[in-house]
Every structure is written in structure tokens, then in C-alpha cells.
């Protein structure tokens, strides 16, 4: 605490170090431990202490459309005269540079992970925690340093308007919380990033994945973690039908790259489930797509094919999580503001941390009223968190959390979320000047109510393949 002579109020340089009601999930004691662990704790108290800078960077993610002064104004608005005058933009920028990315990475590491319990609806199937991984890209500021570190997307019609970061995440389907994350330059393949997520897998999990991750090496690495797998196979993947099973699925092998053709017996033994998925929307449209799933769950009686086929739909929870991170929290079409790679890394971890805390709060509120976390709106959570920061709702223990809970659970009926479908579309064209194309894409992305029908395909006896003995 520092004070001024006369009638000036007491000034507390640590007062802006809060995040409203979310401060209960990211308390100053945790931030101080992170700063100590990463060697960023200052030896002398500055007007911008490292603890305050951490909260400022988190607030940048929460108020993504505001400049430095707007973010700072939100932090101090509800504090009255407890703070000194507003820091300059260069001072805030230099404070971010002193902090670096390590504290934000460590903070996210301490808050990341699954949050669902066995009582959480949709979080477990047959005592297996449902997980999914996938990748996305984030646009960053078009500076020479970011271009050199991350690179552009190069396509037939030109290159992207901004450098891109490739990010992959392992997400808990029941809560949409993030367990592990890895990111790098845009040229880094999703499979390469997925290998850095393997440490988050363990026995008791069932990992869902799209066909982009179909591959001999990655399958073996993921299986060796002890987790069970349920992945979609690529359409060009040839899978020999070895042993038919009673539920219509069959045993096959996923051949290695050194196998001589697809009739080799060398490879990972897998169980294959083939089915047709028909989607009928409220506007009368109807579409059918063929799926082939590979799984390590070999027993058709304990793990029936029709249930696994219906369960694969849970993989889309990772897509909803990414939408929440990129659009709901970051807001649509926003570019990360940092001009240097370390600032980009710091900013990404700030977004991930705020997103993770919001998911934790949403899950806690859903559990208190006994509903599926899907029914809690992330949009409402973000809006409520912003209001609590501006009002500095963190001083009274218990009150901010109760108000947050009431806001999140005010409108939860009907208890089950209706199935909807939204057509896939390019959300940002390669050319930054394609305004007409952007407008057309936005007009075509109206979601519709949908019903899903799964029809299993049973392999015929004459279609079975006998592999040569090795």
C-alpha cells in the first residue's frame, strides 16, 4: 500500500489485479505461485506489478475488442479511487514483454484438465470418459516477426490475409473443457501436434477423432497410452474384412506403411463399424453419408456397434468448444493483437485460461441444478464475466459466485438441447478483400433443427477377406 499526502485516497497498486467473479477460480495466491515457479516475480514493487499484469492479459482475452486503455478501464472502473492514474500504452506493452509467455502457460497448465464427474450427463459411456481431439487455426497480427514464426496459408487463389497459428486440443466431451493443447506454425500438421497431446491420454478414456487423424503410427501411439479409441477412417482406406461379428461389425487390420499392399496381415488389429447416417432438417432437406469407424473395443456384446455409431456424434463437442473459443470469447473475425511470437503465445494461453475457467464455472452451475452442461450458455457466461469485472464483483466472498450461478441458470428450459445442423462453409476466404464472398457465406450459415438416423451395414459373407499367413 502506498499513500499520498493530503486528502487523496490510499492507492493500492495491486487493486487492478482481479477478474471479477472469476477471481475466485484464479485467486492472487495462485498467480503468485505461478510467477514464483516461472521466475517472473519482481524484486521490487512497480506501479504495474507482475500479478496485475497477469490479470491484465487475462482481461485482454475477456475484452477482446477493446484496446489497452479500454481493458484497463474495465479493470479499475469498480474500484473507486484505489488505483493510480491509467498507465500509458507503451507501459502496458513493456509490462507484457517483461512478463513473457511462461507464466500464462503455467497458469493454464494448472487450470486445464477434465472437470466432469460420473454424475455429469454425457461425460461417460460404459465408465469411459469421452474425449475428442481436433485442430483449428488462429489469425495473428500481420507483422514480420509473426510471418517468420508462423507463416501464411498458401492456396491456389493466393495466400491468407494474415499469418496463422495451427492449434490442436484434447477436449472433454461432457463439459467441453480443455485437457491438453499444442500449437505451432501453420505448416505443422495436425497429426504432429496430436502427438504432443498423447500425454493427456490414459486408461479409462475413450478418444473420438475425425478421419484426418487416421494413420498407423498415431493409432499405435494413442492405443499404447491405455486409452480406448473410436476414430473415423478415411474413405480411401482399404480395410480387409477378416472376422464378421454378431452385431454387423467385423475385425480387420490397420496396415503399416511397410506392408506390401493392403492384404498384408501386418498391422494393428481393429474392429470396423460401417453405417449410414441420414440427417433430415426442418426445411425438408435430407442427406445420407457413409461412415466407417475404427475402434479398440473388440467385444460386440459389451460395446454394441449401434451404440458406438450413435456415440460418435459426441465428437462434435470439440467443434463446439472451438467455436466457443474462437467466436464466442474471441469474437468473430478478430485477429490476435500481439506483434511478436512470444506475445502471441502469451495471448493464446490467456484465451485458453479464460475459456477453461468459464467452462469450470458453467459445469459447477449445471451440476448444482442437475442439468447437462450443454444447457449452460457460454455466451451468457462471457457476458456475465465481463459485467463482474467492470463492477469489480470479487470483494464479497460467496456473493459474486452466487450471482454468476443465477445468471447462468436463469433460462435452462427445455432441459435437453435440440439437435441442430449448420452447413459447413469457409468462414474466412483466403483473400482479405472478398467482401461479397464473406457476406454470402454468412447468409448461408443458418442452423436448422435436425433428426439423425443411423443404419448399420452388415458385411456379406462373400465380402470377407482371408489374409495370407505371415
Q: What is the pLDDT of residues 52-61, one digit of tens each?
A: 999 999 999 9
Q: What value, to the nearest 5°, has the Cα angle with vertex 296 and ends 290 and 299?
A: 95
With cell 473420438, the residue in question is 208
What percentage of the chain reaches a pLDDT higher than 70? 82
Query: H or E segment at 310?
Result: helix 305-311
Q: Is the pLDDT of residue 284 over 80?
A: no
pLDDT band at residue 467 using 50, 70 and 90 as cut-offs: very low
pLDDT at 457: 77
Q: Where are the beta strands (DSSP E) in 349-439?
A: 420-421
List of long-range contacts for 245-252, beta carbons under 8 Å, 24+ apart:
245/271, 245/300, 245/305, 246/300, 246/301, 247/300, 247/304, 247/305, 247/306, 247/456, 248/273, 248/274, 248/305, 248/456, 248/457, 248/458, 248/459, 249/273, 249/274, 249/300, 249/305, 250/459, 250/464, 251/298
pLDDT of residue 414: 53
| The pLDDT of residue 7 | 41
Is pLDDT at 466 greater than 50 in this prediction?
A: no
Q: Of 185, 193, 190, nearest to 150 (Cα)? A: 185
Cell of 158: 493466393
Rounded average pLDDT over 388-398: 73
CA distance 279 to 131: 24
| pLDDT value of residue 38 | 96
pLDDT in tens, 237-277: 889 999 999 999 999 999 886 655 445 557 899 999 999 98
pLDDT at residue number 288 = 87
The residues that bridge with 231 in the sheet, in sequence order, are 209, 294
DSSP 202: -
Averaged over 47-70, what is the pLDDT?
95
* Pairwise CA distance, residues 431 & 355, whole Å: 29
In this predicted structure, the answer to whether residue 39 has a pLDDT above a threshold of 90 is yes
| pLDDT value, residue 447 | 65
Query: How confident is the model at residue 79, as a pLDDT?
Result: 87
What's the average model confidence in pLDDT over 446-454? Answer: 70
Mean of the pLDDT values across residues 316-333? 92
- Alpha carbon distances (Å) from 129 to 175, 222, 227, 374, 423: 11, 15, 10, 16, 29
Which of the two residues, 154 and 359, has the higher pLDDT score? Answer: 359
pLDDT top residue among 181 and 453: 181
Per-residue model confidence (pLDDT) at position 234: 92
- pLDDT on residue 369: 83
Higher pLDDT, 457 or 416: 457
Mean pLDDT of the chain: 85
Q: What mean pLDDT comes out for the span 199-209?
A: 97
Q: Among 42-51, 58-67, 204-213, name the one with the lowest average pLDDT.
A: 42-51
Rounded Cα–Cα distance for residues 57 and 63 (Å): 10
Which of 48-62, 207-221, 289-303, 410-424 has the weakest average pLDDT? 410-424
Per-residue pLDDT tens digits for 137-152? 999 999 999 999 999 9
* Mean pLDDT score, 345-357: 98
Amino acid at each position: 500500500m502506498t499513500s499520498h499526502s493530503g486528502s487523496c485516497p490510499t492507492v493500492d497498486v495491486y487493486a487492478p489485479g482481479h477478474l471479477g467473479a472469476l477471481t475466485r477460480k484464479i485467486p492472487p495466491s495462485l498467480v503468485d505461485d505461478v510467477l514464483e515457479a516461472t521466475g517472473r516475480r519482481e524484486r521490487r514493487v512497480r506501479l504495474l506489478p507482475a500479478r496485475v499484469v497477469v490479470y491484465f492479459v487475462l482481461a485482454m482475452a475477456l475484452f477482446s475488442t477493446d484496446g489497452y486503455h479500454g481493458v484497463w478501464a474495465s479493470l479499475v472502473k469498480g474500484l473507486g479511487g484505489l488505483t493510480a492514474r491509467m498507465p500509458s500504452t507503451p507501459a502496458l506493452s513493456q509490462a507484457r514483454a517483461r512478463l513473457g509467455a511462461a507464466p500464462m502457460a503455467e497458469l493454464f497448465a494448472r487450470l486445464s484438465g477434465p472437470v466432469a464427474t460420473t454424475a455429469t450427463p454425457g461425460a461417460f459411456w460404459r465408465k469411459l470418459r469421452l474425449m475428442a481431439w481436433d485442430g483449428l487455426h488462429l489469425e495473428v497480427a500481420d507483422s514480420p516477426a509473426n510471418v517468420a514464426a508462423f507463416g501464411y496459408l498458401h492456396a491456389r487463389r493466393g495466400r491468407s490475409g494474415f499469418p496463422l497459428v495451427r492449434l490442436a486440443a484434447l477436449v472433454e466431451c461432457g463439459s467441453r473443457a480443455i485437457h491438453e493443447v499444442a500449437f505451432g506454425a501453420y505448416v505443422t500438421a495436425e497429426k504432429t501436434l496430436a502427438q504432443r497431446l498423447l500425454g493427456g491420454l490414459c486408461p479409462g478414456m475413450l478418444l473420438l477423432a475425425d478421419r484426418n487423424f487416421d494413420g498407423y503410427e498415431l493409432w499405435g501411439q494413442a492405443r499404447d497410452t491405455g486409452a480406448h479409441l473410436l476414430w473415423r477412417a478415411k474413405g480411401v482406406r482399404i480395410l480387409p474384412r477378416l472376422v464378421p461379428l454378431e452385431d454387423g461389425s467385423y475385425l480387420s487390420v490397420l496396415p503399416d506403411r511397410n506392408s506390401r499392399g493392403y492384404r498384408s496381415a501386418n498391422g494393428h488389429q481393429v474392429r470396423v463399424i460401417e453405417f449410414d447416417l441420414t440427417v433430415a432438417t426442418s426445411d425438408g432437406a435430407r442427406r445420407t453419408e457413409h461412415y466407417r469407424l475404427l475402434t479398440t473395443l473388440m467385444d460386440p456384446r459389451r460395446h454394441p456397434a449401434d451404440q458406438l455409431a450413435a456415440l460418435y456424434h459426441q465428437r462434435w463437442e470439440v467443434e463446439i468448444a472451438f467455436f466457443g473459443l474462437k467466436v464466442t470469447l474471441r469474437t468473430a473475425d478478430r485477429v490476435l493483437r500481439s506483434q511478436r511470437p512470444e506475445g502471441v503465445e502469451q495471448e493464446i494461453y490467456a484465451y485458453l485460461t479464460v475459456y477453461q475457467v468459464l467452462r469450470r464455472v458453467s459445469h459447477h452451475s449445471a451440476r448444482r441444478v442437475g442439468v447437462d452442461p450443454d444447457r449452460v450458455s457460454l455466451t451468457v457466461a462471457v457476458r456475465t464475466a465481463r459485467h463482474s469485472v467492470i463492477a469489480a464483483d470479487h470483494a464479497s466472498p460467496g456473493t459474486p459466485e452466487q450471482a454468476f450461478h443465477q445468471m447462468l441458470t436463469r433460462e435452462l428450459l427445455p432441459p435437453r438441447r435440440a439437435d441442430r445442423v449448420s452447413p459447413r462453409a469457409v468462414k474466412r476466404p483466403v483473400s482479405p478483400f472478398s467482401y461479397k464472398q464473406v457476406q454470402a457465406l454468412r447468409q448461408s450459415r443458418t442452423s436448422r433443427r435436425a433428426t439423425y438416423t443411423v443404419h448399420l451395414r452388415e458385411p456379406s459373407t462373400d465380402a470377407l477377406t482371408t489374409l495370407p499367413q505371415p
